[in-house]
Structure 1
Amino acid sequence: MPTNRTVDVYSDLSLSLSEAGSGRPCLILHGGGGPATVAGLAAQLSHSLHTITPTHPGWNGAPRPAWLTGVDDLALAYLHCLRDLGLSDVLVIGSSLGGWTAAEMAVRDTAGVITGLVLIDAVGVHVEGEPITDFFSLDAAGVAEYAWHDSTRAAVDPAALPAAQLQMMRANMATLRDIAGEPNMHDPKLLRRLGRVDVPTLLLWGASDRIVTPAYGAAYADAFGDGRLQVVPEAGHLPHIEQPEATFALIDAYVRAKA
């Protein structure tokens, strides 16, 4: 069973962590949909790894200090957290916004704490000719169409949600816009910096993702010093949810190859 703890990274920033399993430490970073979107992934990986799954500041009611306004702030906070915990040989796995955060962590990791990266349909870079879909302009039906292979399983009628859940979703979206919205879901300088990241990097991509396309993922992978792309059929922006068995198998093979 997962255990929860809070780590004080700065005097005004505490991170809430859910931990499970044992072995090599694995930091799992969620995307804009919140920690529930990576819960299944964390549960699966905890059979062989020590999984550490934070809730980003500002999501699900977690406090966010006023100065935390960008993914660079988030990346540095997690790097400092890993060092404060005395961890090494860390695998970082990130989905969407979490993948962007993982990439920003890697370019700043001068201590070599991170030894592996898995980015799942990550945003965060600018690729000429492959623009990131303006997620903030999409309604629920649009998110289902662009982010899922099977849009019928994802369409959500906001009017059918409990008021508290709807309020939390809106607050999460507001935080996502604050941290990642300008410019639209990317750091203009990140792509050219990734060549300095030489840890083995696996980019997993849903073949049907229309938020960031597989061609975008290929350019992302090529920018890393040691990156490769694996495309998951019949999956969109969250392949670990739509095609969990295929996604887990690719991650397991990557972990075994780097063991």
Structure 2
Amino acid sequence: MMIAFEKMHANGDDFIVVDLRHRDVPLPPELIRRLGDRERGIGFRQLAAISRCDDATARLLFWNADGTPLDACGSATRGVALKLMEESGTDAVTIRTGRGLLHCSRRGRTQIAVDMGPPLLHWSEIPLATPMETEILPLVGDPAACSMGNPHCTFFVEHVEQVDVEVRGRAIETDPLFPEKTNVHFVQILARDRIRLRIWERGAGISSGSGSCSCAAVVNGIRRGLLAETVEVQCDGGVLGVSWNGTDGVYLIGPVEPVFRGEWIS
């Protein structure tokens, strides 16, 4: 079986795009794990599959490199939006994901903006294992939780560079409080409109950048009264912009870059 793909990255958060609009290819979890293997496969953090859609430019499905599905991936959404815009010669597209219809626009050659939809804040939507308020969780460090289509847990710390992201991220990802596991982020507030963010992604490990994690971190900071509505997010791999007015969708803007195209032959 041959699978054509494009590899891209957003601030080092790498993913591949598989276009299924003209050829249906099964993508079972075991195949995704083989493709995601950095030694024996292509290597990526997420896989995004494009298919046809009646009410949008295209439909997107996402998987982590370990084969687990997810509803949201800000990096891959921006990458696919760039691909669709270049195909159509337009500066705006609408993409249907598990989060609904996401409106995307171009801001310069490789800067893509996406309305990621409203955050989910109720304990059952994230989900958490038991009913509770989600602004402060009963865990050491008093993190906050929300969902951007995938679960997020945000710790606010004094010095983010002193955090052992792998040890703490791995432990929190699998905490019983999160029945579907969780992304984990550590935030140092530099100013009300600027944060330093380090990320542990569910099913993928330490990430140099993540669109949905950046959105969730800013949402939780705004809910705590720590941040302004528009925030510059400094990830390990580069800078993103996130805006949220407390009610509507979370607006994400950042760069995305094509890396190479290829064919996987199994």
The structure that is strand-richer by fraction is 2
Q: Relative contact order (C-alpha < 8 Å, sep 6+): which is higher?
A: 2
Task: Answer 1 or 2: which has greater helix percent.
Answer: 1
Structure 1 and Structure 2 fold alike (TM over 0.5): no
The alignment's TM-score, normalised by the length of structure 1, stands at: 0.31
